[in-house]
Each structure stands twice: as C-alpha cells, then as structure tokens.
Amino acid sequence: MTKKNTLKIKKIGVLTSGGDSPGMNAAIRSVVRSASYYGIECCGIRLGYEGLINGNVVEMGPRSVKNLINRGGTELKSARSAEFRTVEGRQKAAETVKKYGIDALVVIGGDGSFTGGMIFQQEQGVPFIGIPGTIDNDIFGTDYTLGYDTALNTAVEAIDKIRDTATSHNRVFFVEVMGRDAGFIALNSGIATGALDILIPEVRDNIEDLFATFENAQKNGKSSSIVVVAEGEKLGGVYDLAKFTKMKYPEFDVRVTVLGHIQRGGTPTVADRVLASRLGLAAVEGLMEGKSNVMAGIQSNKVVFTPIEEAIKKQNEIDKDLIKLADILAI
Ligand code: ATP
C-alpha cells in the first residue's frame, strides 16, 4: 500500500557517515528510488557530515543510482567530521540544508552518526531517520545491520581457507576478526567454521580455560585448532595469545592471521541487499509520515522504528545459546 506524504516533504538528502559497510550503496539506491516513486526529490551529500558542512551536494534521480545495488563501499563516500561536533560546524551544515531546500535527511551509519543527526535535529530542526550501517551488528533496535552478513561471509570464506593449511600442518591458528566492542562476527563465523574456541569482548575469558581447551582437543585427537578472536576481546589480542600459547606449549606450531579490512569490502550478500532495500524505503515512508529521530531496523523480519536515543544507548545482546552451541560442538 502506498503512503501519504502527510508532511509534504519535497526533498530528502541522503548521506553515509562513519565506517563504510557493504550494502550502503543498495540503501542509497533504495532511498533515491523510493523518494522518486513518491514524487520527492532527492540529493546525495558526499563525505557524510563533512559534505553537509562544505555544500558537497549532488542531485540524484533513479538513473543516477544504476549499477549500484551490487557494489561494496559507498558511492557517496563516507567521512568522520570533527567540525560537525561543533555548533559552528552544524550551523554551516544548516546553511547547506537551507540552500538546497532539503526538508529531511536519511543518515546511513553507526551510533556516532545517529548522535550527530539527533543533535542536528534538536539544534537546527532538520528531521532525520537513521539506517544502521556497520559490519559489527552492534546497534540496538535491529536484528541485523547493513554489511554484517557480507562481513560474516567474507570472514567464513577466509577461515575456511586457513583451516585447510591448519589441518595439513597440525597448526594452531589465532584468527582475528573485526568487532572492537561486539563479538557478533567472531561468534557466528566461529560457529560456521567449527572453531575450537571463540573469544569475544562480551565474555570474560581466561587463558587457563583456553589452555584446557587445547589439552582437551589433543586428548580428543584433533589435528588442528582454530581460535577465532574478536578485535576487542579482553585477554590482550591475538599476538599476545599466540605468545602465551607458544610459551606454554613450545611444541605447538602457532600462527596468527588478522583478517582486517577485507571484512569491510566486497559485493554485498543477498541478505544485505534486501535489508538495505527494505530500510531505504522504510526511511522515506517514515519521513513522509512525520517520523523523525528514529532508526529504521528489522526485527523478526518486520521493519520497525526505534527512537534514536534508544538505538544509541542500549546494547544488542549476544545470544547466550549461541555461546553454548559453540562450546558443545567444539568437543
Ligand atoms: P562506526 O560504527 O563505523 O564507528 P559511526 O557512525 O559510529 O560509525 P563515528 O565516527 O562515531 O562513526 O561518527 C561519525 C560522525 O558522526 C562523526 O565523525 C561526527 O561527524 C558525527 N558525530 C558523532 N558523534 C557526534 C556528536 N556527539 N555530535 C555531533 N556529531 C557527532
């Protein structure tokens, strides 16, 4: 069912901000085409809030987002803007909004970008809706964030390859995946690749437990061991873990792989493209209905809107059943 443009929004500005993630392009495309469907003009703001301050604005229509749905990164480019954190910076941004006749913004980014949007709305009265774009999946109010599924699949593909060499040489591998504050990528990629152990920031791990796991694995005749470690785990990082393991078991052939930014790039998966497409339409329809200061997300496969303040302040909890599952299957 088509929606009524009750707020008479004539022009929407869309921007990507903070760290990029696969699916952002598909979301930009969806915002632009959904707006066009409802007869609303659309412009893209390049380089996030920096572009809003500097007037880096491009008019966009359905054809300007062709060949975009399948591309990683963000065509509008992303940035972190220190100036937008100042009142003066936000005043300049408000002048751009006025100059281009922008009635509302769609901000695709993480919680920092949402904080910026919220302050901008409170201070300058520009309505906005957020779309969660981060590979970490750590934003409250949505089951999945844009880029998470793609990053997960990239990590799994890489760890599968590491497993081949680990098994051939009886090696112990510590594989670091992204997730400074959240272990979603580590936990799920670890389960999907049959990791011996998974270390995440949400769980207080201890090195003796890890050693016990190695000893059990040896007793059970395992020929290789992959330990998936989230960037933000609290035991000291993959290099220290490798060092301590080598000190305790000099006979082990211990290796470290840091997957790094390959997890941020690449062609978005089906799940990310569909999610981005749904949330782009939801953001446009939400603005038309007068919603603002909310984030469009997905919960139990339904589009939902969460107040931005909640999305920023609350945490997406790790599913304890998944931790148990990982332990049971690593026997
Ligand atoms: P990621 O998940 O990749 O970190 P993010 O959206 O959280 O993405 P941030 O760097 O935290 O990334 O924020 C992006 C931008 O949002 C900042 O560079 C800044 O311009 C703006 N921003 C963040 N916090 C504030 C704030 N308190 N006031 C004004 N603007 C802010």
Burial class (CB in 10 A: 0-12, 13-18, 19+), 297: buried
Kindly state whether residues 156 and 291 are assigned to the same domain: no
Which listed residue (20, 136, 149, 272) is catalytic?
136
Kindly state whether residues 131 and 218 are assigned to the same domain: no
Residue 85 CA: which ligand 1 atom is closest?
A: 29
Kindly state whether residues 112 and 215 are assigned to the same domain: no
- Report the CATH number that the domain containing residue 88 is assigned in CATH: 3.40.50.450
- Closest Cα to atom 2 of ligand 1: 110
Structure letter (DSSP) for residue 140: T
- Closest Cα to atom 23 of ligand 1: 112
Per-residue confidence (pLDDT) for residue 313, from 0 to 100: 95
Query: How far are the Cα atoms of 14, 107, 209 from residue 120, in angstroms, in the given order?
Result: 14, 12, 47
Query: In the annotation, is 136 catalytic?
Result: yes
Q: Which amino acid is at 304?
A: V
Beta strands in the chain (DSSP E): 11-16, 41-45, 57-60, 104-109, 128-132, 171-177, 197-199, 225-230, 253-258, 294-299, 302-307
Q: Ligand 1 centre from 11 Cα, in Å?
A: 24
Q: Which amino acid is at 97?
A: V
Kindly state whether residues 234 and 112 are assigned to the same domain: no
Q: Which residues lie with the beta carbon below 6 Å from any ligand 1 atom?
A: 17-19, 49, 80-81, 84-85, 109-113, 115-116, 119, 134
Q: Ligand 1 centre from 109 Cα, in Å?
A: 8
Judge whether 323 lies within some domain.
no
* Strand 253-258 relative to strand 171-177, pairing: parallel
Residue 136 CA: which ligand 1 atom is closest?
A: 2
Kindly state whether residues 290 and 256 are assigned to the same domain: no
- Closest Cα to atom 25 of ligand 1: 116
Contact residues for 149 (Cβ-Cβ < 8 A; gap 6+): 268, 269, 271, 272, 275
Kindly state whether residues 96 and 25 are assigned to the same domain: yes
262 C-beta neighbours (distance < 10 Å), count: 13
- Count the domains in the chain: 2
Q: Ligand 1 centre from 208 Cα, in Å?
A: 38
Residue 129 pairs with which residues in a beta bridge? 106, 294
Kindly state whether residues 141 and 156 are assigned to the same domain: no
DSSP characters over 203-240: S---HHHHHHHHHHHHHTT-S-EEEEEETT-TT--HHH
| Domain hosting residue 255, numbered range | 148-264
Among the listed residues 85, 134, 87, 91, the one whose alpha carbon sits nearest the alpha carbon of residue 109: 134
Judge whether 107 lies within some domain.
yes
Using CA atoms in the order 77, 81, 87, 90, what is the torsion angle rounded to 10 degrees? 0
Q: Ligand 1 centre from 18 Cα, in Å?
A: 6
Burial class (CB in 10 A: 0-12, 13-18, 19+), 130: buried
Contact residues for 62 (Cβ-Cβ < 8 A; gap 6+): 32, 33, 36
**Rounded distance between C-alpha atoms, residue 243 and residue 255, angstroms:** 10
| Token duo for residue 244 | 């301590």
Angle between helices 184-193 and 148-169 (to 10 degrees): 50
Candidate from 15, 20, 80, 135 with most ligand 1 atoms within 8 A of CB, to mutate: 80
Per-residue confidence (pLDDT) for residue 24, from 0 to 100: 98
Kindly state whether residues 142 and 272 are assigned to the same domain: yes
**Rounded distance between C-alpha atoms, residue 115 and residue 108, angstroms:** 12
Per-residue confidence (pLDDT) for residue 331, from 0 to 100: 81
Kindly state whether residues 191 and 283 are assigned to the same domain: no
Residue 21 CA: which ligand 1 atom is closest?
A: 3
Judge whether 330 lies within some domain.
no
Q: Ligand 1 centre from 325 Cα, in Å?
A: 35
Residue 111 CA: which ligand 1 atom is closest?
A: 7
- Closest Cα to atom 12 of ligand 1: 18
Kindly state whether residues 158 and 303 are assigned to the same domain: no
This prediction's pTM:
0.95
Kindly state whether residues 98 and 229 are assigned to the same domain: no
- Closest Cα to atom 31 of ligand 1: 116
Residue 120 CA: which ligand 1 atom is closest?
A: 29
Q: Please give the chain's pLDDT, 331 residues, in tens.
A: 567 676 689 999 999 999 999 999 999 999 999 999 999 999 999 999 999 999 999 999 999 999 999 999 999 999 999 999 999 999 999 999 999 999 999 999 999 999 999 999 999 999 999 999 999 999 999 999 999 999 999 999 999 999 988 877 778 999 999 999 999 999 999 999 999 999 999 998 889 999 999 999 888 888 778 999 999 998 889 999 999 999 999 999 999 999 999 999 999 999 999 999 999 999 999 999 999 999 999 999 999 999 999 999 998 889 999 999 998 998 8
Kindly state whether residues 127 and 170 are assigned to the same domain: no
